[in-house]
Amino acid sequence: MQGDFAPVSMPPLSELGLTLPTPAYLAGLLVFGIVGWIAWRRGRKLERPALKWAGLAIMLYPYAVPQTWLLWTIGAGACVWLYFNWSS
pTM value is: 0.77
pLDDT band of 1, cuts 50, 70, 90: low
The C-alpha atoms of residue 60 and residue 44 are separated, in whole angstroms, by 17
Average pLDDT over residues 68-85: 95
Cβ atoms within 10 Å, residue 4: 5
Q: 87 near 42, Cβ under 8 Å?
A: no
The C-alpha atoms of residue 12 and residue 2 are separated, in whole angstroms, by 27
**Alpha helices for 1-88 (secondary structure H):** 23-45, 49-60, 68-85
What is the identity of the amino acid at 88?
S
Cβ atoms within 10 Å, residue 12: 7
